Chains A and B, each alone.
Chain A
Amino acid sequence: MPTVDISGWTCPAPLRDQPRVVMGHGGGGALSAELVQQIFAPAFGGEILAQLGDSAAVSLGGVRLAFSTDSYVVRPLFFPGGCIGDLAVNGTVNDLAMSGAKAAYLSCGFILEEGVEMPVVAGVADAMGAAARAAGVEVATGDTKVVEAGHGDGVYLNTAGIGLIPAGVDLRPQRVTPGDVVIVSGDIGLHGVAIMSVREGLEFGVEIESDCAALGGLVETMLAVTPDLHVLRDPTRGGLAAALCEIATASCTGIVIQERAVPVPPAVANACAILGLDPMYVANEGKLVAFVPREHADAVLDAMRAHPLGAGAAIIGEAVATHPGMVVAGTPLGGTRVVDLPLGEQLPRIC
């Protein structure tokens, strides 16, 4: 067999940029961050936006409010464990809850595609109403637009919300200090895998339901133990990994987690193994990650576990002074690895 001449071996791929929007710009990872930092933040200015929290903490007439907005473009509209309607309510309620606020009022924008069936719109609206009532929040204002057939996926939603931040509560990454304990409220990866299973027609042996839920009650329970929580984040797009990376970067502390302590349901682990995905990067819609001063950690954990949405809460790691801005995971075998901000969306592997 002839030998191969390696003298001319080179790697043939060029540098490139992103001259147009690609799907990854909406993936909650590094490309999303770039879009916000290079285009939106400079255009809008403002110190509040620059803090890049799940919701903005603002002061109005001496009252501290949390203010947030989010848009929902999920396919399919109805999925195991929920639909775009309750997702749109819970998502914004949760963004407010991550500032410690109890959501009070929501707005609701419908962007409907010409031709979508009226029972579908009614089903989405009913789900929104039910989710709002369950979360104790009122949909106070709204808007409807219709786009031509072929220009949408049936229904897009936008919700914005406001809520009151209780006195003494100050949740932001800058408060994270080495020694803080990292707690996650339960099993991760359920929403992303549930959506993938129906969107792509994949079957994993058992039906996986989205964890879509409003976390205001759980946060209230935690704050009742101590208002001195340091930061809360709901790990939606980009998953737990992105949430931790954001906090590490914004707080300039390091984070160490133990992979085996992260609660991953077997069905999610198996689905991810089949697709070559990492559960740490899969989206959640009813979970939170909390950084809690060590002296309060046990009490907060107990309170979380006593709440239905925190029954699976677990301590997964701590903030550390070493490697500031970086998240490191201890592997089950005893090695270590970096946990990085995802670039865009996770892509299933070829084999």
Chain B
Amino acid sequence: MKYLDEFQNPDLARRLLDDIRSTVTRPWALMEVCGGQTHTIIRHGIDQLLPEQVELIHGPGCPVCVTPLEVIDKALEIAARPDVIFCSFGDMLRVPGSDRDLFQVRSRGGDVRVVYSPLDALKIAQQNPHREVVFFGIGFETTAPPNAMTVYQARKLGIPNFSLLVSHVRVPPAIEAIMTAPGCRVQAFLAAGHVCSVMGMGEYPELAARHRVPIVVTGFEPLDILEGIRRTVRQLERGEHTVDNAYPRAVRGEGNPAARAMLADVFEVTDRSWRGIGTIPASGWRLSERYRDYDAEYRFSVDGITTREPAACRSGEVLQGFIKPHECEAFGTLCTPRTPLGATMVSSEGACAAYYLYRRLGTTPTPQEASPVV
């Protein structure tokens, strides 16, 4: 972390941008898979600095955004139970369900706690043996291994009052779905570096070859992004489509074998619904049969959820790269972080939130939004 500044060095950034400019000869559309990358791009204005021919399309890699409404509603229902302590990472608390969010459940007396690690939730379970402790296990390959390990630990330590509400998703099937969707414009991918630090790169060569798209594993700091773009554009200009690792300080080809072993032990691959997108085959994980006792969906009866979906929100198209957030009619008017129509506007990794937070020039706050005494 002490080298963080080096990955934001303006001189190095200029050199990378010059290289990209001198390489590109025609228009290319690149998708950054991860919402964290989207935020770096928009927060630092990287898309403004790129040559016109290089278009960045924002991908579906925000775990908060793609968690299905049905699962959010199940979480809300479980969290509202008086015998439950519901633990979650912070950015899930503001995500709207059909009629409320976890903050509102807490304001009505629900015991909802923000934790920084699933192991914190397990500790809470140990400290509260007479209450059920549920951890909201969402995210991509990055967060799945620690959540799997927590379930493994719960069984090993014999902690019966802990369970996981699981909605984990996998990146490669999402790339497959994007490439096979009608109207797809994506010509190359900046793959999510943290996902590859766990899973390695073994899942990508086949995808790259089959769809003839370069896939460049990319980090999250501004220079990481620029280097990923530089390598991607080089491949495109040369007509290549290989898997390249532009994030070697974190990613090895085989990934993290211990984490993968933990995943394989505790989870099994399943079809998974993505919020705003629909079901993508084999795109998720659920707890395997051996760990079913720790599955909150089995432990709590939360079937029969009826979700209500507004038609005005186009975040499904945003997540697929068909439109940019500001091209949605509701953006910044009907849909703001305070009154989000979709999770993409409320998640800290959501593309709509990034555009709203960092790219709202041209709209001016009204005097009524003046702040209170602090």
Contacts and interface: CB of A to CB of B under 8 A. Distances in A.
* Mutual binders A and B: yes
Interface string B34-76: 0010000011111011000000000000011000110000000
A187 interface: no
B361 A23 contact: no
B58 to A, nearest CB: 14
Interface string B281-298: 100000000000000000
> Is the interface on chain B under 10, 10 to 19, 20 to 34, or 35 or more residues?
35 or more
A14 B91 contact: no
Interface string B8-24: 10100110000000000
Interface residues of A, number: 80
A130 interface: no
B45 to A, nearest CB: 1
Contact of B1 (A9, A18, A273): A273
A74 to B, nearest CB: 14
Nearest to A32: B372
Interface in A4-21: 4-6, 8-21
Contacts of B48: 335-336
B91 A347 contact: yes
Contact of B10 (A17, A269, A333, A340): A333
Nearest to B342: A11
A33 interface: yes
Given A11-B314, A37-B372, A335-B44, A200 B180 contact: no
Interface string B326-355: 000000001001111111101011000000
A246 interface: yes
A30 B116 CA distance: 25
A270 interface: yes
A337 interface: yes
B374 A10 contact: no
A270 B1 contact: yes
Contacts of A270: 1-2, 4
Given A14-B99, A245-B371, A337 B42 contact: yes
Contacts of A200: 116
Given A11-B309, A236-B374, A347 B45 contact: no
Nearest to B328: A11
Given A3-B182, A10-B310, 19 more contacts: A1-B176, A1-B281, A4-B279, A6-B278, A11-B315, A12-B98, A12-B307, A16-B339, A22-B104, A35-B372, A332-B44, A333-B10, A336-B48, A338-B361, A340-B356, A343-B94, A344-B94, A348-B90, A350-B349
27 contacts: A5-B278, A8-B278, A14-B96, A16-B100, A23-B103, A28-B371, A29-B371, A30-B338, A33-B370, A33-B372, A238-B371, A246-B374, A249-B367, A266-B4, A274-B1, A276-B91, A276-B348, A331-B45, A334-B14, A338-B359, A340-B360, A341-B365, A349-B90, A350-B138, A350-B143, A351-B142, A351-B194
Interface of A: 1-6, 8-24, 28-33, 35-37, 40, 52-54, 68, 95, 200, 202, 205, 236-238, 242, 245-246, 248-250, 252, 266, 269-270, 273-276, 323-326, 328, 331-338, 340-341, 343-344, 347-351
Interface of B: 1-2, 4-5, 8, 10, 13-14, 36, 42-46, 48-49, 63-64, 68-69, 89-101, 103-104, 106-108, 114, 116, 138-140, 142-143, 173, 176-177, 180-183, 194, 222, 275-281, 307-311, 313-317, 320, 334, 337-344, 346, 348-349, 356-361, 364-374
